[in-house]
């Protein structure tokens, strides 16, 4: 209903102006409540839908164009797996070609690290050939893979343990070493730890191959896509004789400590080397726990210690060979020189006896060098050492290999000790020694050295070396554990020592008659 309003506006207008209030219509017809319920919602939904498609397009562009190659590589990685085909080590053969260290097939199982680690912290475990084949049939757990691998077996066991040595799994610390990184060593690889296995590691180790396989979502191998064949390591022919090595080990007195060395004087080749007590190197191949290894390594019998090259002992009467050579070469004695066996030599309050007199109370009369070597007469060599002098005796001892490393390839060799007055003055320097004059060299010191007693220390290998010099006619060859091939390789360096033929003949005659 319209309302009437009367206003007075002045003379220009009628006294009464009638106005009617009316409802105004909007200028834009769609602005109002009906717009949001109709066209507005459709427009907003269209804009939002467009934005969503735009965002999806940008994301798709980023995934397929910008980073597509990365995700394709990841997808292939989940579908294609590269497995290592581990190369067998080269075999170790004796001088006749008989294998003394061979390879036996086994498997290396690769485990997801987060699922559990082996005792050494690596995601690797080892299975026998039968265990690996059985696991392949039943199926591997998700994320696990099998790689063909090899373990070492030592045919003669403890008889050749100290020559052949052992292998052991590479440690995490060694894998960080540049030397092993450059040679592509991997977790679980086994390397030479001692003996021949260690010194010829680069030759024995083969070149690993590769195998590309397609796997399903559970990790099961579907098919082989490609293969790079592994290359076996180089076989090494050693100087040892397998049969002789067994005989030597069996002949050694049970429960005794010591060493036996059999060598070829003309070339320096070692035909057999046995150190007692010994150990079975096959235990290392199957894997020892840390406690088992420590028990073996810390044993008071020291079975892993190679006494043949690392043990030093007074050589005893074997050193009389050197004393005889020194005396003859220096002119202190000749082949016709005779020295009376008095049974005992007294120097002040000290007495030096012959073993025959000590045991039986008897003497042997006049003795020459041949008879002295035959009977190992101490009186003769006391006097020969005294006539030669300790300085010249020491010179000849060192020429024949005493007091320095022989140069054999095996690690752990000791140099021994050839004492002389200068050595004694440098090592007996305490106030008590000086007061007692222990730093001085006495005739009794020379007597002791001349028969291989006193301060002198040698290894069994050094004893074999100076014996070989006589047997080889004065030729000194560096001992070796690798076979010397006549006409192909000359072996380690050999040299002729300045020993007269007459000297060699006299000493040889005495040794043969002993």
The residues annotated with a catalytic role in the active site are 317
Please report the DSSP string for 337-367 in residue order: --EEE-SEEEETTEEEE-HHHHHHS---EEE
Q: Does residue 186 contact residue 219 with C-beta atoms inside 8 Å?
A: no
Please tell me the distance from the alpha carbon of residue 304 to that of residue 193, in angstroms, as a whole number.
12
Ramachandran region, residue 38 (left: φ > 0; alpha: ψ -120 to 50; beta: rest):
alpha
Please report the DSSP string for 97-144 in residue order: S-EEEEEEEEEEEE--GGG---TTSSSEEEEEHHHHHHHHHH-PPTT-
Q: Does residue 32 contact residue 26 with C-beta atoms inside 8 Å?
A: yes
Q: Does residue 477 contact residue 491 with C-beta atoms inside 8 Å?
A: yes
Longest alpha-carbon distance in the chain: 182
Residues in the chain: 514
Ramachandran region, residue 386 (left: φ > 0; alpha: ψ -120 to 50; beta: rest):
alpha
> Which residue, chain included where needed, has tokens 């200068």?
422
The end-to-end CA distance of the chain, in Å, is: 157
List Cα–Cα distances, 492 to 151, 358, 402, 469, in angstroms. Answer: 31, 44, 18, 15
Quote the distance between the C-alpha of residue 48 and its chain's center: 70
Residues 6+ apart with CB under 8 A from 66: none
Q: Where are the alpha helices (DSSP H) in 172-215?
A: 172-175, 178-182, 195-199, 201-204
Please tell me the distance from the alpha carbon of residue 103 to that of residue 94, in angstroms, as a whole number.
16
How do 209-215 and 221-228 pair as beta strands? antiparallel
Please report the DSSP string for 209-276 in residue order: EEEEEEE-TT--EEEEEEEE--BPPPPEEBS--HHHHHHHHHHSPTT--EEEEEEETTTTEEEEEEEE
Burial class for 13, CB neighbours closer than 10 Å (0-12, 13-18, 19+): exposed
Please tell me the distance from the alpha carbon of residue 81 to that of residue 360, in angstroms, as a whole number.
82
């Amino acid at each position: 209903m319209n309302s009437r309003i009367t206003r007075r506006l002045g003379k220009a207008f009628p006294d009464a102006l009638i106005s009617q209030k009316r409802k105004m219509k909007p200028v834009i017809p769609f602005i109002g409540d009906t717009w949001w319920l109709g066209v507005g919602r459709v427009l907003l939904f269209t804009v939002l839908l467009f934005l969503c498609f735009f965002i999806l397009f940008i994301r798709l562009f980023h995934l397929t164009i910008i980073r597509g190659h990365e995700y394709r590589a990841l997808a292939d990685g989940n579908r294609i797996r590269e497995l290592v085909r581990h190369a067998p080590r080269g075999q170790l053969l004796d001088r006749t070609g008989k294998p003394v260290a061979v390879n036996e097939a086994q498997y290396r199982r690769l485990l997801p690290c987060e699922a559990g680690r082996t005792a050494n912290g690596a995601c690797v475990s080892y299975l026998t050939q039968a265990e690996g084949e059985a696991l392949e049939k039943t199926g591997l757990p998700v994320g696990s893979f099998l790689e063909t691998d090899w373990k070492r077996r030592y045919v003669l066991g403890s008889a050749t343990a100290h020559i052949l040595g052992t292998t052991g799994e590479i440690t995490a610390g060694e894998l960080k070493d540049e030397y092993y990184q450059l040679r592509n060593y991997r977790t679980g690889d086994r390397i030479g730890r001692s003996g021949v296995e260690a010194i010829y590691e680069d030759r024995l180790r083969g070149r690993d191959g590769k195998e590309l396989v397609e796997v399903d979502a559970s990790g099961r191998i579907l098919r082989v896509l490609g293969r790079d064949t592994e290359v076996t390591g180089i076989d090494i022919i050693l100087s040892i004789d397998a049969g002789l090595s067994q005989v030597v080990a069996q002949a050694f007195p049970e429960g005794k400590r010591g060493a036996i060395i059999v060598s070829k004087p003309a070339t320096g080749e070692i035909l057999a080397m046995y150190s007692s007590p010994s150990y079975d190197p096959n235990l290392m191949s199957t894997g020892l726990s840390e406690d088992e290894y420590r028990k073996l390594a810390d044993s008071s019998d020291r079975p892993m210690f190679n006494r043949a090259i690392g043990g030093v002992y007074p050589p005893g009467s074997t050193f009389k060979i050197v004393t005889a050579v020194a005396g003859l070469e220096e002119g202190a004695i000749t082949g016709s020189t005779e020295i009376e066996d008095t049974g005992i030599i007294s120097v002040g309050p000290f007495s030096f006896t012959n073993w025959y007199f000590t045991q039986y109370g008897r003497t042997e009369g006049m003795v020459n060098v041949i008879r002295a070597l035959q009977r190992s007469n101490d009186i003769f060599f006391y006097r020969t050492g005294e006539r030669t002098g300790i300085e010249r005796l020491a010179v000849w001892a060192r020429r024949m290999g005493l007091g320095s490393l022989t140069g054999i390839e095996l690690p752990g060799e000791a140099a021994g000790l050839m004492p002389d007055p200068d050595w004694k003055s440098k090592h007996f320097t305490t106030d008590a020694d000086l007061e007692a004059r222990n730093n001085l060299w006495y005739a009794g010191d020379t007597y002791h050295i001349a028969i291989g007693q006193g301060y002198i220390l040698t290894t069994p290998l050094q004893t074999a070396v100076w014996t070989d010099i006589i047997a080889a006619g004065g030729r000194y060859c560096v001992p070796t554990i690798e076979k010397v091939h006549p006409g192909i390789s000359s072996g380690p360096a050999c040299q002729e020592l300045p020993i007269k033929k007459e000297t060699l003949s006299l000493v040889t005659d005495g040794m043969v008659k002993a």
